[in-house]
Amino acid sequence: MRKSMTAGIFGGFVFALIAGAVMVPVQETMKLGFIDSQAVIGAYPPTQDAQATFATENTVWERQAAVLEAEFNRLNQDLERQSLAMTPERRAQLGAEVQQKYGEYQAYIDEIWGQTGQAYERNQELMAPIIEKVNTLIEQVGEDEGYDYIFDAASGGLVYAAPAFDLTPHIIDLMGTGTDEPDLPQAP
| Residue 182 placed within a domain | no
- On whether residue 118 sits in a domain, the answer given is yes
Q: Give me the pLDDT at residue 9, please.
A: 41
Tell me, what's the pLDDT at 15? 42
Give the model's pLDDT for residue 20.
Answer: 46
Domain count for the chain: 1
In a domain, 108, yes or no: yes
In the prediction, which pLDDT does 100 show? 95
Q: What is the pLDDT of residue 185?
A: 67
Report how far residue 36's alpha carbon sits from residue 106's, in angstroms, rounded to the nearest whole number.
37
Smallest Cα–Cα separation from 83: which of 75, 91, 92, 74? 91
Q: What is the mean pLDDT of each run of 10 residues along the chain (188 residues)?
A: 42 42 54 94 94 97 97 92 88 92 96 96 96 95 95 94 91 77 63
153: in domain:
yes
Partners of 33 in beta bridges: 150
Residue 23, in any domain of the structure: no
Tell me whether residue 120 is in a domain: yes
Task: State how far Cα 171 lies from the chain centre.
Answer: 28
Domain range for 94 is 29-169
The per-residue b/e assignment along 13-27, b for 16 or more CB within 10 angstroms, e otherwise, is eeeeeeeeeeeeeee
| Cα–Cα distance, 102 to 75 (Å, whole number) | 10
Asked if residue 134 belongs to a domain, the reply is: yes
Inside any domain, residue 13? no
Helices within 83-117 (DSSP H only): 88-113
